[in-house]
Amino acid sequence: MDTDKGIHSREHLSVKLLKAVLFGACVLGIGLSLVQIILDARRSSQAIDRKAREMLAMIKEPASRAVSRRDVDMGQEVLNGMMAIKSVQVAAIRLDGTPELAMVERPVFASRYRLLSDYIFDPIRIYRQELFEQEPGKKYLGELILSIDTAHEGKALIQRSVVVFFTGITRAIAMALLLSLIYSALLTKPLQRLIRHLSSINPQEPGQQQLPMPKGNENNELGLWVKSANKLLTAIDHHHSLRQKAEARIMRLSQYDYLTRLPNRRTIQNRINKLIKKAAQRNENIALLCLGLDDFKSVNAQVNFNAAELILIKISDRLRNHLGNRAYLGRLGEDQFAVIQTQVNQPYEAAEMAQALIRQLDQPFEINNEQLSITATVGVTLFPGDGADVDTLLQQAEFAMIMAKSRSRNRYQFYVATIDTEIRQRKKLEMDLHQALSHNELSLVFQPQFNYQQGRLIGAEALLRWKHPEKGLISPDTFIPMAEHSLDIIPIGDWVLENACRQLHQWHTDGHQGLRMAINLSAIQLQDQGIVERVAMLLDKYQIPPGALELEVTETAIIEDVEASKAQLENIKNTGVTLALDDFGTGYSSLGYLKQFPFDKIKIDKSFVEGLPENKSNVGIVEAIVQIGKSFGLKVLAEGVETIAQETFLTSTGCQEGQGYYYGKPLSSSAFIAHLVNQPNQPDYSNPGDS
């Protein structure tokens, strides 16, 4: 390759250098010349002043004698002598209080440089010298006036300046050309020779040729550059094979998950595409399974980041070892895996595969000397019955998994066409929920709470209900998660707090002062920075004793951010309300939360009350929870009480309160009061302390 032909003449380094040096030299020459001219002008100005003072001093004595004698001829003679100097334009002797004794003048000097010289100097400079009588009186006699025309000195200055200016530029240009020639000889030409050698090197075998060392440059920067370039060429040639291996490794990393080393989503899609084409030719079926870990977000919050990654690695290893060569395993996302099963003759084969994958996670994982149980839900879709392209199959498998999780967990579900309809209906329901508050479709019901020690109803839990104009009553298990996902839970939660407090105030006003109200706070509400101020405002607005208001939170609500939740609950507790931990025992590290948070009460989840006292496992759990409550000085309320046998067992264990259908279903406000009044052993509502 001819490197010189590829460079325009204006782009040559030597040309650019010459231009730069010439420009710099001209600027420097002009600058230095201007400085020299300015200094010369200053010296010339000072010379004009000095000469004028010398002339005045020279004729001062004869001028004084002429004035003292009033001798006009003598004064005229003195002044005529000054006219011998070309720069003197006017000379005069003036008496004290009288016209001039004598005066001489000549026309202003006509010079073509006058316009410039007048700018540099004043056109006419006037000097004065006072004249006094000789000793002893030193009487003031008059003054000597001298007018100097600066054009003469200005002409000389300008002529000198022109010479200085062009001499300076010429000298600078000559020096620049000399420097350019030296630079070209020492650097530019050797570089051109090196470039020609460098362009002749074969890129595929860079180490086979070396750059020649320019003579006389062995120990300077150019020689060091040549040595470094030769070493670099050798290194490039030596590591050419390593580069190819690195490219292959990068390609592999782009196709596999960095953590589990499983194929990533893109690789899975490519694999499915290939299998679809092959299966279509052979008329075979393919099953695509989407395995999603259940509530992995809570597990992630329970352990540290490294431990969570270790869990994913162990899950991947366990699934990989189980599948072997029977199926293709990959990772779709943070907590989702894909399994591709080929040559599926019947759907039950995919079902067996899904069930086997779920069973693989039955055995707990040991992380940091702690046993953690992980469950998974699997969505299954089939080719070609459910779809004919990879995007459709993946979407349907994920939809099936999501819908399976919404109903229950630790199970598998096949994709069916109704899932699409169900998802669309769910989205429509979310949109309707967004407008439910403004359309007055929400209401509250109140489920009684019973005190075992006092043997009477002491309050109620406010429960939210949504009556859809077309679908009727919608289950809270359906619309509450929707509201939390869309953040509609904040205005809805505020509405619940407002109306529950208003209802409690009404009950107290009607004479039932001993009643209390329990209200659930969602995780989103707990994170709201304005919740504390909101609670305090409602207590003051409706004149509710703080102890009559009970706010409930679940473990899953506070596990999102333990430190922030602790601070928020402390602030809420400072308003004086009662704090209860709902669904106790169903989350993680319950004892740790009881130590850290200011709870007054724990509520036993109804899943543990179910089957009492026959269910021995639940018996042990309930007894342990009641004992924990006693140890921490907390009240214990059991949810889901439906039989007298359950009540009898709970009271025998020391549980203080109960809630469930045995004491009453969720009721409207008026129905709750009617139910309360009809209860035996009615409390004295005039005394709030009875509750």
Q: Compute the CA torsion angle 147, 151, 152, 158 (nearest 10 deg).
A: 150
Question: How far is Cα of residue 183 from the mean position of the Cα atoms in its chain?
Answer: 50
d(CA 444, CA 603): 21
Tell me the pTM: 0.48
Per CATH, the number for 13-164 is 3.30.450
Of 67, 139, 126, 79, the C-alpha closest to 103 is: 79
d(CA 300, CA 311): 9
Q: Kindly report, residue by residue over 62-79, the tens digit of the pLDDT.
A: 888 888 888 888 888 888
Rg (CA), the chain: 52
Q: Kindly report, residue by residue over 447-468, the tens digit of the pLDDT.
A: 999 999 999 999 999 999 999 9
Average pLDDT over residues 96-118: 82
Q: Which of 58-62, 239-243, 673-677 has the lowest mean pLDDT?
A: 239-243
Predicted pLDDT of residue 1: 41
Burial of 1 (0-12, 13-18, 19+ CB in 10 A): exposed
Q: What is the mean pLDDT of the chain?
A: 85
Q: Kindly report, residue by residue over 469-513, the tens digit of the pLDDT.
A: 999 999 998 899 888 877 889 999 999 999 999 999 999 999 999
Tell me the CA distances in angstroms from 592 to 124, 559, 589, 632, one per residue in order.
101, 11, 5, 12
Give residue 587's pLDDT band: very low, low, confident or very high (50, 70, 90): low
Tokens describing residue 324: 């072997």
Tokens describing residue 690: 């009875």
The span from the first CA to the last CA of the chain, in angstroms, equals 98
Predicted pLDDT of residue 3: 47
The DSSP secondary structure of 569-583, one letter per residue, reads HHHHHTTT-EEEEEE
d(CA 226, CA 462): 85
Domain spanning 429-675, CATH architecture: Alpha-Beta Barrel (3.20)
More confident residue, 593 or 413: 413
Give residue 256's pLDDT band: very low, low, confident or very high (50, 70, 90): confident
More confident residue, 105 or 682: 105
Predicted pLDDT of residue 572: 95
The answer to whether the beta carbons of residues 503 and 669 sit under 8 Å apart is yes
Per CATH, the number for 253-415 is 3.30.70.270
d(CA 498, CA 604): 27
Average pLDDT over residues 87-97: 85
Give residue 683's pLDDT band: very low, low, confident or very high (50, 70, 90): very low
Q: Kindly report, residue by residue over 333-381, the tens digit of the pLDDT.
A: 888 999 999 988 888 788 889 999 999 988 888 887 778 888 999 999 9
Of 417, 351, 354, the C-alpha closest to 385 is: 417
Instruction: Indicate left, alpha or beta for 577 from its phi (over 0: left) and psi (-120 to 50: alpha).
Output: beta
What share of the chain in percent tops pLDDT 70?
A: 89
Q: Are strands 442-451 and 657-659 parallel, antiparallel or unpaired?
A: antiparallel
Average pLDDT over residues 22-26: 82
Q: Kindly report, residue by residue over 648-660, the tens digit of the pLDDT.
A: 999 999 999 999 9
Sorted by where each begins, the domain ranges of the chain are 13-164, 202-238, 253-415, 429-675
